[in-house]
Every structure is written in structure tokens, then in C-alpha cells.
Copies of this chain bind each other. A is one copy, B any other.
């Protein structure tokens, strides 16, 4: 019963097979191989426009590179949700890459609201003679959010528009973008460049790959900076065909969507079970592969003892009326492409005391 993280899961069989297949013979290094070219073509098709792609092995590297490319040489402030991975979980990577300061914005369910963004932009205006205060230069959104909720294309568009009008560039952390696309049934373009996103971190690792993240750069004027920054950060992989092979198999025949849909379905089954259980309640309405549940501490302990793996989570983004009470705790349950109905059902059985 692994609900700890989607990065505890392995890789899909197709992805593993693609790595084996890519191993035949010699191939040019550092991204000049044919597989990398094919991945770019696939992403052009998927996003319905010209773009530049930079493959890297980690999501933190991808996010930090994206913000470094979008921020001016003097850094400035990056507006993000207070729970955003770039701010809360990357060990200060973006402070290191580009010396930016994060301006965290609160918001229920991991989502920035137009009002929250407005206030942050007004507090740290992009153009202002007062240089003592940092100027906001980038808006970083996350979809699927850290709370497992999704921004719709309309929501994305509104926030991006606000950012653009204020002179900010926009980054989208898409570590679980596949789950958002699968849930919303929206075109990837509608959730990104058509909405106003400049660079997308399109994560594949959590959704069935080994180590595969793509910086999808819609504003091609940024391509040189990303290329140089990636090299300088040590994120240009020599045998890049082995990242490309993962993406190639993952993108082919909508395999990435199949994987995400499965993970989402498992989360939906879990959420439905929790709703019906009477033994726990949902902290947010799940839109993807993550379920956040409030339950008695004793129940959480019992689940762990039964072999369930999950993390306790901070309740900052939970609406006041759903917050854990004194004897309760908030847990995060992540489903992956590899999660089985058996795992979900067993968890629910233990939750309601029908198994242990």
C-alpha cells in the first residue's frame, strides 16, 4: 500500500523497454541524437506549435532552470503559492540558480486566486523606482497543484493575463501536468502557451519514467539562455538518448495519458471510498492522483501499522471548515500509474476497520 509518493513507483514497462531498445549501437551525445529530435517533434505535435525542448534528469533542476531563464540577471521576486514545490521543497535551488526571493501567496487547495495574485503584484511591482524592495519578475504556477487540485484553462488564462499585464513572465511547474491534462481533458496548449505560459516543466518521472523532465520553452528567445544555463548547471546529460527514449515511449500512443488516467482513477476510487467511509473526510476535492484526507491520528497509526505508506501534511491550504481537529491529522495519499485497486481497497478496508 504505497501512497507515499508517485516517485516511489518504478517505470512503466514500455519505458523500460524503450531504454533497452535505445541501447543499440553508438549515438551522438549531448542531445544531438535522433531520439531527442523525435521527442521534440512529438512535443511540437502535442502542443500544436513550434517550441524548444530541453531534457534534464530532475524536476528541481528543470524548475530552477526555468526560473533562471525567465528572471532577469538581477533576479527579483517569484510569486508562487506558499506550498509550491519551487519554494517549499527544493532546498533553496532557485535562490542558488538565480538569487530570486519567493513571494508566497496563500490560497485554499494550493491555488492562487486572482485577488491573491493582484495583491502580490501590487506589493512587489515589476517597475518601480524603489530598488530596496525586490520587484516581482516571474509568476510560477503549479498544475496539478501541490494539493492535488487543477487549474482549468480559464483559470490559467486569467492568472497569466494578470501576470503579463504586470510585466511578469510565467512558469508552469508541471511535475504532474499529465494528471491535470487527464483530469481536465483539456488540450495541453490550452493549459500552457495559449493561456500565457512561457516555459513549462513537463514532468515524466512521477508518471512512469525513471528520470525524465522536459523544459518546454514556448518563447524561443529564451532558448539560448536555457541551453547555456543547463550546461552550466550540469544538467546536460551526455547519453541523452536515454532520457529521450523514455519520453519517446511515454509520448507515443498517448501512453502518458493512459498512465495518468490510471493514477487519477485510483485516486478517485480512494476518494470515493473515503467519502463513503464515515471514517475520514477529504481536505480538498481531488482533481488528479493525490488525495488529502483528514482522519483521527489513531486511524492513521493503524493504517501505517497495516503497511500503508503516506506522509502527514501541513494544513495551511485547507479551508477553515475542513481542517484537522485536535486529535486528527492530515495525510497525503498519492496514487501512481502502478497503484492497484487491491492497494486502494485494502487501504479503505483498514480505514473502516474491516481489515488490519
Q: Tell me if A71 counts as interface (CB < 8 A to partner B).
A: yes
> Shortest CB–CB separation between residue A93 and chain B, in angstroms?
5
On whether the beta carbons of B205 and A58 are closer than 8 Å, the reply is no
On whether the beta carbons of B229 and A73 are closer than 8 Å, the reply is yes
A-B CB contact pairs (8 Å), 16 listed:
A4-B28, A5-B29, A10-B24, A26-B338, A58-B235, A61-B234, A61-B235, A62-B234, A74-B228, A91-B133, A91-B231, A93-B232, A93-B234, A95-B95, A101-B102, A131-B228
For the complex, what is the distance from the CA of A241 to the CA of B10, rounded to whole Å?
9
Q: Tell me if A76 counts as interface (CB < 8 A to partner B).
A: yes
> Shortest CB–CB separation between residue A271 and chain B, in angstroms?
21
Cross-interface CB contact of A92 among B5, B58, B232, B237, cutoff 8 Å: B232
Q: Tell me if A7 counts as interface (CB < 8 A to partner B).
A: yes
Q: Tell me if A135 counts as interface (CB < 8 A to partner B).
A: yes
On whether the beta carbons of A131 and B236 are closer than 8 Å, the reply is yes
A72-B224, A89-B133 are known; give 12 further A-B pairs, CB within 8 A.
A10-B22, A10-B27, A30-B132, A68-B73, A73-B73, A74-B229, A92-B232, A95-B99, A135-B228, A205-B239, A206-B238, A210-B239
For the complex, what is the distance from the CA of A56 to the CA of B238, rounded to whole Å?
13
A242-B132 CB under 8 A given contacts A22-B10, A95-B99: no
For the complex, what is the distance from the CA of A29 to the CA of B60, rounded to whole Å?
14
For the complex, what is the distance from the CA of A235 to the CA of B97, rounded to whole Å?
13
CB-CB under 8 A from A29, the residues of chain B are: 4-5, 7-8
CB-CB under 8 A from A96, the residues of chain B are: 75, 99, 232-233
Q: Tell me if A329 counts as interface (CB < 8 A to partner B).
A: no
On whether the beta carbons of B26 and A11 are closer than 8 Å, the reply is no
Q: Tell me if A100 counts as interface (CB < 8 A to partner B).
A: yes
Q: Which 9 pairs between the two chains have the least Cβ-Cβ distance?
A: A61-B234, A91-B231, A74-B228, A60-B234, A7-B238, A131-B231, A2-B26, A10-B23, A57-B57
For the complex, what is the distance from the CA of A101 to the CA of B80, rounded to whole Å?
15
Please give the number of chain A residues whose Cβ is less than 8 angstroms from any Cβ of chain B in the complex. Answer: 81
For the complex, what is the distance from the CA of A10 to the CA of B95, rounded to whole Å?
36
A242-B101 CB under 8 A given contacts A61-B234, A233-B233: no
A8-B28 CB under 8 A given contacts A73-B73, A93-B234, A239-B205: yes
On whether the beta carbons of B100 and A95 are closer than 8 Å, the reply is yes
